[in-house]
Amino acid sequence: MSPPGRRGSGGSRPGRGRSGWSGDFPPPSKPRAVDGGLVARSARGDIGEQWWSRRFLEVLESFALGSRLTRGKNYARRGQVMSLEVLPGVVTASVQGSRKTPYRVSIGLPAFSELVWAKVEVTLAEQAIHSARLLAGEMPHDLEEVFAAAGAPLFPQRSGELTLSCSCPDWEVPCKHLAATFYLLAESFDGDPFQILLWRGRRRDAMLGRLRELRGGDPVPSTEPVARKTESPRVGAMMALADVTVAAGDFWTGAPALALPIQAELPVDLLLRQLPVPGALLGGPDLVAYLAPLYAVLGESPD
């Protein structure tokens, strides 16, 4: 399988053709040090903690890119990636190499059509566990199957679906700048799996709002009781999960939040994860960190 081509690279780069080298190769150049770059959390070994980020890297390796991907690990861990932005259909990054001007990196992946997203969102809305995990910032384990059933695999199936571009003079695809971006992208998926869905064309707020609509609730968070749309033929098959985000904004001020049904496979601190971080007067992030282990204790089965 041939590696993905670089967008706009044409057949050769000015002044440097594929067979334009003469004599010995110059020694490898060292990248310039970066102050405040994005540093990979993994200091050694594999990158990617969650199944979805590991799956993403496995897909890239299946395209015979694995040996070239490893060239970017050192760059990723040294903080050579200065910026990384995920947008519908494209990931852009700025990577500092050996030259004064950082290299411009782009990784394109086609965004899904509205028809595909409509099919996916209906399927997700019909399963309580799917939306519960998404609301908790997790990817359901069978999410790939949901997208495959809609005729649009979540991860690329062949290298040709990716459009790779880097402004560096290296002919290897991916070069170490692209490879470093792939690793930092995988780690960004660890922190926020909705970045994968954004790359495929759906923003977090839009998707969760649509799921609430399909479940018969108000698409905008509200403190008013949720009114179910009895005229919809899908209401009977929709999720039994209460719209826990409706009252989340008032949780820390004392207003009651809607309860989750008991699900053995759900994280015990699921509700806590979905609530906004309380204000400084209530303890801020420290209060959340204090409550998290208490949820684990309270969720333990009695002996």
pLDDT at 118: 93
pLDDT at 267: 61
pLDDT at 108: 97
From CA 236, how far away is CA 268, in angstroms rounded? 27
Six-digit token string for 178? 């692209």
pLDDT at 217: 59
pLDDT at 27: 53
From CA 110, how far away is CA 1, in angstroms rounded? 20
From CA 121, how far away is CA 152, in angstroms rounded? 13
pLDDT at 222: 33
Kindly give the interhelix angle for 51-60 and 176-191, rounded to the nearest 10 degrees: 160
From CA 51, how far away is CA 63, in angstroms rounded? 19
Helix (H, G, I), strand (E, B) or coil at 77: helix
pLDDT at 301: 60
Q: Which helix (H) or strand (E) holds 186?
A: helix 176-191
pLDDT at 277: 62
From CA 53, how far away is CA 51, in angstroms rounded? 6
Six-digit token string for 102? 């950082």
Put simply, whether the predicted model's pTM sits higher than 0.85 gets the answer no
β-pair partners for 86:
91
> Edge-to-edge strand order for the sheet containing 163-166?
81-87, 90-95, 103-108, 163-166
Task: Evaluate whether 234 touches 118 at the Cβ level (below 8 Å).
Answer: no
pLDDT at 284: 67
Task: Evaluate whether 187 touches 53 at the Cβ level (below 8 Å).
Answer: yes
Phi/psi of residue 285, nearest 5 degrees: -60, -30
Amino acid at 107: I
Instruction: Pick out the chain residues at pLDDT < 70.
Output: 1-28, 64-67, 217-280, 283-285, 299-303
Residue 108, number of CB atoms within 10 A of its CB: 17
